[in-house]
Amino acid sequence: MKNPNAVGRVVAVSISERKGMPKVNCERIELMTEAGIRHDAHAGPGHRQVSLLAMESIAKAREKMPRLRPGAFAENITSEFLSLPEIPVGTRFRMGAEALLEVTQIGKVCHKPCAIAFQTGDCVMPKEGIFARVLHGGFVVPGDPIELLPAALEAHGQTIGVPQTAPSPQGVSV
Summarize pLDDT for 42-70 with one digit per residue, the tens: 999 999 999 999 999 989 888 888 888 99
Residue 88 located in a structural domain:
yes
Answer whether 131's CB lies under 8 Å from 51's CB: yes
Residue 93 located in a structural domain:
yes
Residue 144 located in a structural domain:
yes
Question: Structural domain of residue 75, as residue ranges?
Answer: 7-155
Summarize pLDDT for 117-156 with one digit per residue, the tens: 545 556 667 689 999 999 999 999 999 999 999 865 555 5
Confidence of residue 25 (pLDDT cuts 50, 70, 90): very high
Residue 166 located in a structural domain:
no
How many domains in the chain? 1
Residue 27 located in a structural domain:
yes
Note the pTM of the prediction, 2 decimals.
Answer: 0.80
Residue 161 located in a structural domain:
no
For β-strands 50-54 and 77-80, DSSP reports them as: parallel
Residue 63 located in a structural domain:
yes
Residue 162 located in a structural domain:
no
Q: Say which CATH number the domain at 34 has.
A: 2.40.33.20
* Closest listed residue to residue 80, CA positions, set 106, 60, 102, 53: 53
